[in-house]
């Protein structure tokens, strides 16, 4: 079985406890976040997703790995939704990986699962047929 090549594309640290890095997995760009996504840290997430959209190759997805995020507020959800729309314009799906209830629950409560698909693992999000 062929191994997936991963290469670090960028990394950064925002105010508060949010850290972000991005890797490529095949044609997909995976943005890894850890910490909390709130009003203070959301500009870093926004910048990272904009940067990822310039590095992605349609129709491969941009995967936002929030499996190490312990808090996601409405400003974070707004940024994700903004980038869903932007990525659709580019022909690139945006997918979210969420392990914690703190991330999955707001998306579920707002009924955003269709617009913002959530996966259990990065592997599942990258491999899902578009």
Output the CA torsion 51→25→58→118 (10° steps). -80
Q: At the fourth CATH level, which superfamily is domain 6-127?
A: STAS domain (3.30.750.24)
Question: Is residue 60 within 8 Å of 90, Cβ to Cβ?
Answer: no
Which of 5-14, 32-41, 50-59, 70-79 shows the lowest mean pLDDT across its residues? 5-14
Which positions ≥6 away from 49 have C-beta within 8 Å? 31, 62, 64, 79, 80, 83, 94
Report pLDDT digits (tens) over 20-46.
999 998 889 999 999 999 999 999 999
Give 94-109 pLDDT, tens digit per residue. 999 998 999 999 999 9
pTM metric for this prediction: 0.88
Domain range summary for the chain, segments of one domain joined by +: 6-127
Cβ within 8 Å of residue 103, ≥6 positions away: 66, 69, 72, 96
């Amino acid at each position: 079985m062929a191994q997936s090549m991963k290469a670090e594309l960028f990394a950064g640290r925002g105010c508060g406890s949010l850290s972000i890095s991005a890797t490529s997995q095949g044609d997909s760009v995976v943005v890894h976040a850890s910490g909390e996504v709130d009003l203070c840290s959301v500009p870093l997430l926004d910048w990272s997703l904009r940067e990822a959209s310039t590095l992605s190759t349609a129709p491969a997805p941009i995967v936002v790995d929030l499996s190490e995020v312990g808090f996601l507020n409405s400003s974070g959800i707004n940024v994700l939704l903004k980038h869903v729309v932007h990525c659709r314009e580019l022909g690139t799906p945006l997918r979210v990986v969420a392990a914690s209830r703190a991330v999955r629950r707001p998306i579920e409560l707002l009924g955003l699962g269709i617009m913002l698909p959530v996966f259990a693992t990065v592997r599942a999000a990258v491999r899902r047929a578009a």
